[in-house]
Amino acid sequence: MASLMQWVDGWAVRTPHLAGAADALLRFCDRLSIAEIETHALPWVERWLPLHENNEDFWGYADLVNRAATVILRLQPSDQVIENSDLRRRVRQVLARLADNGSLTAREAMAAIAAQRPGAASR
């Protein structure tokens, strides 16, 4: 699996401008473990965001924006808080940027994450 993921990562690095490639990569994520999503898929999405900020054609292709959010959300189950602060920060930043690009899935997740914060219920 490691050699396959190395090849897939190389392909992801060479094709960040292609919505069809992003679609294939996100579909492939259905077969990845949580650790593999953290190691591979999160960096893919982080790479796409600055390249396609406010690009409705890219994010609208096959509903990439919501599918990317769904993949990233596998890193943070709704009933858990990510213990690793760096990973938690990266996930929240990606979700916020996906929400800015039109992801309803990411917007709803950001609201749920905000509700988990200490003191959120008392507001």
CB 75 within 8 A of CB 94: no
The 10s digit of each residue's pLDDT in 67-82 is 999 999 999 876 666 7
Q: How far is CA 5 from CA 61, 74, 83, 112, 113, in A?
A: 24, 18, 26, 32, 30
Per-residue pLDDT, 83: 80
Per-residue pLDDT, 1: 82
**Quick check: is 106 in a domain?**
yes
**Quick check: is 25 in a domain?**
yes
Give me the mean pLDDT over the 20-38 stretch: 97
Per-residue pLDDT, 78: 63
Give me the mean pLDDT over the 51-63 stretch: 97
3-7, 25-29, 75-79, 93-97: the lowest-pLDDT one: 75-79
Per-residue pLDDT, 79: 62
For residue 97, give the 3-state DSSP assignment: helix
| Averaged pLDDT score across all residues of the chain | 92
Burial status of residue 108 (CB atoms within 10 A of its CB: 0-12, 13-18, 19 or more) = middle
In degrees, rounded to 5, the angle at the alpha carbon of residue 103 between the alpha carbons of residues 102 and 106 is 135
Task: Tell me what percent of the residues of the chain surpass a pLDDT of 70.
Answer: 90
**Quick check: is 123 in a domain?**
no
Residue 119: pLDDT band by 50, 70, 90 thresholds? Answer: low
Tell me which residue range forms the domain holding 67: 2-116
Look at the chain and report how many structural domains it folds into: 1
29-33, 48-52, 62-66, 119-123: the lowest-pLDDT one: 119-123
